[in-house]
């Protein structure tokens, strides 16, 4: 049996226990299914659980690392921006405390201070002194803003209220984004003034633009009305509204996930800049951040699927092989038991036939002797010998006795060959003996039988009883297939110098194509309701195989069936026997 045949679940072609074709000792289909199910469950469930745990732990670890990096980057950027603003606010505080009101209102002094600020810090555009009435009384810069009234502007009121003010980014008179830092200082008799400086956002923006961010990252500032304060790479222009909602206030750096209307997920790290309306926004695409994890995940899932496929394949193959072996062993055991039972029945029939033949032969001998004596008496007496009718009756009795003798002799021959023994036999004689038992049935069914054996056909060395049994089983099946009014032909030819071929053809109903592969299976029968056991052709197949031959069948529904039996002229050892494919 080839590997493919061993791994093919042959038991699936048969129903469970109690099936018509083969009565299993066990329901092998159910055993096969249960073993595969339980083994797969025991093997795969732990694998899937471990993989799921590893999957979730790894994903959470990567997400936690992404969150940690976003929080760290946002926190460091927040400190850099806070330091930038605090440094410039501290510079203005120092100028206020280092210079009196009169010195700051001196244009030359104020211009010198602006130049020092530009050289020391950079980013300062202009500087001015605003009195408590909101009038800019001193100014140094590129624009002519001396005498400008700021009393009605919000920043002026806020600096009066808070003492220091850092504005949002706005266009203003210059029509260019900038921000303002203003510091209040008191003078004599409760009066005060405000030192106001304009900061160019170019230097401010460098802090954010120089950050190297992965995950298609973007970092920018917004105010509490979602207006972008610094250039953004992907979320809008300066002073336009961002599509990300303003996160809730926190004095610490936070990270949250956000999903936009296009179902794109973002990791957002944010921080409120102290003493300002600025909110730092660090935005990264989660898909880009998780790209390496997605690749790893695909490999992990692919490995899991391949592992599951291989495991299930091995389980199915191994289980199929083992259950097949159980099934084949069970079939062999059952076949052997029924073969023994069948052989015992044949032996019993043989012994019974021998007993009957001996018992019948004794009275037949007496009848034959007395009938001969009567005929002799009638011959010597003229009045009896001249009576043709009387002499005809005596001859009929003698003829019937001879016929009965022939029948008992056949029974004795059949019984004598029940025991296994090899001898040289004439094939035609054996065929005629088998047909002799079925002659009356053929006559009753109106079946025309023809036998063709070439003249001087070589004799065969075989087990005469088994050859009779093979022919008898095939002819019986042919009679059943024909029913009534048909033809049965037996043709014998020499295939080659080592093999002969016996072809038994009938004009019966034929065998469906789907059943041709099953007719030699044990207990497969179409005569289950008419006394058929389904063992005849199975035993025939085994007998031919044991003799070193091969049996094939060709059939067409509605036309007829032919059994081709190839037998060796001399017994073959099993290793020398040909396979059916070689004929």
Using the Cα atoms of residue 13, residue 19, residue 20 and residue 22 in order, give the sign of their dihedral.
positive
Per-residue pLDDT reduced to its tens digit, 62-82: 889 999 999 999 999 999 999
pLDDT at res. 346:
58
Q: Which fold has domain 422-583?
A: Heat Shock Protein 90 (3.30.565)
Answer whether CATH 3.90.380.10 is correct for domain 24-289.
no
Give how far Cα 429 sits from Cα of 60, 403, 433, 434, Å.
Answer: 89, 18, 6, 9
Q: pLDDT category, 21, cuts 50, 70, 90?
A: very low
Per-residue pLDDT reduced to its tens digit, 166-181: 999 988 777 888 899 9
Task: Inform me whether the pLDDT recorded for 562 exceeds 80.
Answer: yes
Burial of 412 from C-beta contacts in 10 A (0-12 / 13-18 / 19+): middle
Per-residue pLDDT reduced to its tens digit, 309-332: 999 999 988 988 888 888 888 877
Separation CA 116–CA 91 (nearest Å): 11
- Torsions phi, psi for 481 (to 5 deg): -70, -35
Mean pLDDT, the chain, rounded, equals 82
Domain segments of the chain: what residues? 24-289, 323-419, 422-583
Coil, strand or helix at 231: coil
Separation CA 122–CA 88 (nearest Å): 10
Tell me the percentage of the chain whose pLDDT exceeds 70.
82
Characterize the bridge pairing of strands 124-131 and 192-200.
antiparallel
Q: 297: Cβ–Cβ under 8 A, 6 or more apart, which residues? A: 55, 59
181: left (phi over 0), alpha (psi -120 to 50) or beta: beta
Separation CA 410–CA 250 (nearest Å): 114
Q: Give the mean pLDDT of 217-234.
A: 91
Using CA atoms of 214, 216, 217, 218 in order, give the dihedral in degrees to the nearest 10: 150
Per-residue pLDDT reduced to its tens digit, 473-505: 888 888 888 888 889 999 999 888 889 999 999
Reported in sequence order, the residue ranges of 236-368 that DSSP labels E, i.e. its strands, are 254-259, 265-272, 279-285
Same fold yes or no, 323-419 and 422-583:
no
Separation CA 340–CA 575 (nearest Å): 25
Give how far Cα 128 sits from Cα of 172, 181, 560, Å.
Answer: 15, 11, 120
Q: pLDDT category, 182, cuts 50, 70, 90?
A: very high
Q: pLDDT category, 51, cuts 50, 70, 90?
A: confident
3-state SS of 30-86 is: HHHHHHHHHHHHHHHHHHHHHHHHHHHHHHHHHHHHHHHHHHHHHHHHHHHHHHHHH
Task: Inform me whether the pLDDT recorded for 18 exceeds 50.
Answer: no
Q: Give the containing element (helix H, strand E) for 567.
A: strand 560-568
**Token digits of residue 39:** 């083994």
Per-residue pLDDT reduced to its tens digit, 343-363: 666 566 556 666 666 667 667
Give the CB-side neighbour count of residue 222, counting CA atoms within 13 A. 25
Q: Give the mean pLDDT of 378-407.
A: 70
Burial of 80 from C-beta contacts in 10 A (0-12 / 13-18 / 19+): middle
Top CATH class, 323-419: mainly alpha
DSSP 8-state assignment for residue 187:
-
């Amino acid at each position: 049996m080839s590997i493919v045949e061993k791994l093919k679940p042959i038991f699936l072609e048969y129903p469970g226990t109690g099936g018509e074709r083969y009565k299993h000792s066990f329901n092998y289909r159910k055993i096969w299914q249960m073993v595969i199910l339980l083994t797969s469950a025991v093997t795969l469930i732990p694998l899937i659980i471990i993989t799921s745990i590893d999957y979730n732990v790894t994903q959470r670890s990567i997400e936690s690392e992404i969150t940690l990096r976003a929080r760290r980057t946002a926190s460091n950027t927040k400190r850099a921006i806070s330091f930038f603003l605090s440094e410039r606010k501290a510079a203005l505080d120092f100028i206020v405390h280092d210079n009196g009101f009169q010195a700051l209102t001196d244009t030359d002094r104020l211009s010198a201070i602006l130049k020092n600020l530009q050289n020391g810090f950079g980013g300062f555009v202009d500087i001015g002194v605003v009195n408590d009435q909101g009038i800019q009384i001193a100014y140094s810069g590129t624009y002519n803003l001396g005498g400008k009234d700021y009393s009605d502007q919000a920043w002026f009121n806020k600096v009066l209220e808070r003492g220091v003010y850092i504005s949002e980014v706005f266009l203003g008179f210059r029509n260019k984004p900038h921000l303002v830092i203003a510091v209040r200082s008191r003078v004599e008799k409760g009066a005060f003034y405000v030192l106001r400086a304009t900061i160019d956002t170019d230097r401010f923006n460098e802090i954010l633009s120089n950050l190297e961010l992965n995950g298609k990252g973007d970092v920018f500032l917004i105010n509490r009305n979602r207006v972008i304060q610094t250039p953004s790479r992907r979320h809008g222009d300066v002073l336009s509204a961002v599509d990300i909602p303003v996160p809730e206030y926190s004095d610490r750096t936070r990270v949250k996930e956000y999903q936009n209307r296009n179902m794109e997920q973002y990791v957002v790290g944010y921080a409120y800049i102290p003493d300002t309306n600025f909110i730092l926004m660090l935005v990264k695409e989660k898909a880009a951040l998780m790209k390496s994890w997605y690749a790893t995940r695909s490999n992990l899932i692919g490995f899991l699927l391949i592992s599951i496929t291989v495991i299930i394949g091995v389980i199915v193959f191994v289980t199929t092989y083992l259950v097949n072996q159980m099934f084949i062993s069970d079939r062999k055991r059952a076949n052997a038991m029924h073969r023994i039972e069948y052989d015992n029945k044949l032996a019993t029939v043989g012994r019974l036939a021998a007993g009957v033949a001996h018992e019948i032969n004794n009275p037949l001998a007496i009848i034959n002797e007395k009938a001969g004596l009567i005929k002799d008496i009638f011959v010597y007496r003229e009045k009896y010998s001249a009576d043709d009718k009387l002499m005809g009756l005596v001859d009929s009795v003698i003829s019937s006795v001879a016929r009965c003798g022939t029948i008992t002799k056949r029974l004795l021959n059949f019984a004598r060959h029940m025991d296994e023994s090899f001898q040289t036999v004439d094939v035609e004689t054996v065929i005629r003996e088998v047909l002799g038992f079925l002659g009356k049935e053929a006559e009753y069914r109106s079946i025309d039988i023809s036998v063709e054996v070439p003249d001087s056909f070589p004799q065969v060395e075989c087990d005469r009883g088994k050859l009779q049994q093979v022919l008898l089983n095939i002819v019986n099946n042919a009679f059943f297939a024909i029913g009534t009014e048909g033809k049965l032909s037996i043709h014998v030819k020499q295939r080659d110098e080592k093999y002969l071929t016996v072809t038994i053809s009938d004009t019966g109903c034929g065998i469906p194509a789907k059943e041709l592969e099953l007719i030699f299976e044990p207990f497969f029968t179409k005569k289950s309701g008419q006394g058929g056991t389904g063992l005849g052709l199975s035993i025939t197949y085994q007998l031919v195989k044991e003799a070193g031959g091969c049996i094939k069948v060709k059939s067409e529904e509605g036309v007829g069936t032919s059994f081709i039996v190839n037998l060796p002229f001399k017994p073959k050892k099993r290793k020398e026997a040909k396979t059916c494919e070689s004929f």
